[in-house]
């Protein structure tokens, strides 16, 4: 049985990957589903279980290192191995750099914690066990990680950073049997843009003035 960890699995690309893996492998796969929205994770887990997959839901905020490491610990406690880690969790952003006020620049750092550091922390925690299984690491980047476009300075910076990190890691791990794959999706029909930061650090599709109220993935 393959043990596969998917971050950002509550909706969008992560949820669809989980469903397709469940349909393809059925009883031959166990899916560890991680995201901040536990209710949505539970719904995705039920859809996967209906196809015969084993599931484990772990509420995880990848911008917090300890939660990334707890995700790996919970996986090992339940299944005692990891065969694949799919670093899919991420947040979008759309804002011209000149429109971002100095007091709001902190969200650039937060975006980097989610998109880059979440992947780095999860990968670091899982790596010893992936080497044991000669497993796989997948990083879900973006076309914005290959070319920068107006309004995407922050988002492209995080995705370019992912590209550099995982390309270097692929070379480092070549002799260990661990594969590293970086995916570059284009435009996808998900809620990620709606929930991404605008210039003020508020979810772009959110009409509320309070920050962070609409940031759930």
Q: Which residues are catalytic?
A: 155
Q: What value does the CA radius of gyration of the chain take, rounded to a whole number of Å?
A: 17
Asked whether the beta carbons of 60 and 122 are under 8 A apart, the reply is no
Alpha carbons 55 and 31: distance in angstroms, whole number:
5
Residues 6+ positions from 71 with CB-CB distance below 8 Å:
5, 7, 32, 34, 58, 60, 122, 125
SS3 assignment, position 55: strand
The single residue listed with the structure tokens 């490491």 is 69
- Sign of torsion over alpha carbons 196, 199, 201, 207: negative
Residue 5, classified by CB atoms within 10 Å of its CB into exposed (0-12), middle (13-18) or buried (19+), is buried
Question: Where would I find the H helices in 113-152?
Answer: 118-133
SS3 assignment, position 44: helix
Tokens, residue 52: 């015969």
Asked whether the beta carbons of 39 and 64 are under 8 A apart, the reply is no
């Amino acid at each position: 049985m393959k043990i596969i960890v998917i971050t950002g699995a509550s909706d969008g690309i992560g949820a669809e990957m989980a469903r397709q893996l469940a349909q393809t492998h059925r009883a031959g796969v166990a899916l560890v589903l991680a995201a901040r929205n536990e209710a949505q994770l539970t719904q995705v887990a039920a859809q996967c279980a209906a196809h015969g997959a084993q599931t484990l839901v772990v509420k995880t905020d990848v911008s917090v290192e300890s939660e990334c490491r707890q995700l790996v610990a919970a996986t090992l406690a339940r299944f005692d191995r990891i065969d694949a880690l799919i670093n899919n969790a991420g947040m979008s952003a759309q804002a011209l750099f000149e429109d971002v006020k100095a007091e709001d620049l902190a969200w650039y750092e937060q975006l980097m914690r989610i998109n880059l550091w979440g992947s780095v922390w999860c990968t670091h925690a899982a790596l010893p066990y992936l080497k044991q299984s000669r497993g796989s690491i997948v990083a879900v980047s973006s076309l914005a990680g290959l070319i920068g476009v107006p309004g995407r300075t922050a988002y492209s910076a995080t995705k370019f950073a992912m590209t550099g990190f995982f390309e270097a890691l692929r070379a480092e791990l070549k002799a260990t049997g661990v594969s590293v794959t970086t995916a570059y999706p284009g435009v996808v029909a998900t809620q990620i843009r709606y929930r991404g930061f605008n210039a003020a650090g508020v979810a772009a599709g959110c009409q509320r003035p309070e920050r962070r109220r609409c940031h759930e993935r």
